[in-house]
Structure 1
């Protein structure tokens, strides 16, 4: 009977958080298909360790940490480099100017090294503090600060070197 309630609790959590996990995964890897794979792997790891996850103070934080660690572990292998795909098609419709700015930002984010990308996503998309980000990544607060600083500098340089151009060639 306990397994049934455990499975129901797990299913409810995954159902409510899968969209959010997918967005975070996409920001980390910039490919919707790969994001889906990351989320699936994260969900499988959560299921296996659900007894440990439910004891965590912050279940969302635990899931986010599993997702980020799964992404970083994948980045360390050569497999993802051999199977890298081209740019993914953007889902949904958006105004042209907004879409181009979003694509520029996503392209710049994708150019960051994995750890810098993870710190920027956790700090500014997930709105975590430096200490929370350090805990999620298993590193020091100083490391988070330096990775975030380097990542933001690179983003600024990339985005100012490639100015946004509005439709019709007007900048």
Structure 2
């Protein structure tokens, strides 16, 4: 049985963690799996995690790492040609073009952008979360933004804002 403070943490942060995971992977069901897995791992180590005084950071790091390492886990699964039927269709974010471009980025670039612009993490926090140097974070962010800008239609609202900002 989970400690009361862990259950309270889950109740208070679950929706935000799901939103974060969804932005990271772009799939509602995978996001739910990532959050569930991260919370399981956190619950088993709750006393140690709580002593670090940043349980949410621990869970977000776990979600991010599980997302980035997912390909290794998929290698051992048996993939099928047809996905199962879906009873519920997710609503897409308002900017469909940008969402699709973000979904096409490599996992590491997408993770860096989500951590930077959704969670507003500093480069140092991202480097700590991903276990890399701040230089790697800077170059990955630069490449990801360049790729997005290159693929944005010239008439999109974001492209106009980006050109005005430079």
* TM bucket, shorter chain: 0.7 to 0.9
> Which deviations, in whole Å up to 9, do the C-alpha atoms of 1:82-124 show, x marking residues without a partner?
46969x93338xxxxx72x2x2222111101111111000000
Could you tell me which runs of 5 or more consecutive residues in structure 1 were left unpaired when the two chains were aligned. Answer: 93-97, 166-171
**2: CA distance between counterparts of 1:136 and 1:145?**
14
**1: CA distance between counterparts of 2:148 and 2:26?**
15
TM-score (norm 1): 0.78
1:1-171 aligned within 5 A? 7-79=3-75, 82=79, 89-91=89-91, 99=94, 101=95, 103-160=96-153, 164=156
Change beyond 3 A, Cα 1:143–1:76: farther
CA contact (8 A) 1:75 1:114 kept: no
**RMSD, aligned α-carbons:** 2.7
When the two structures are aligned, how many residues end up with a matched partner?
A: 152
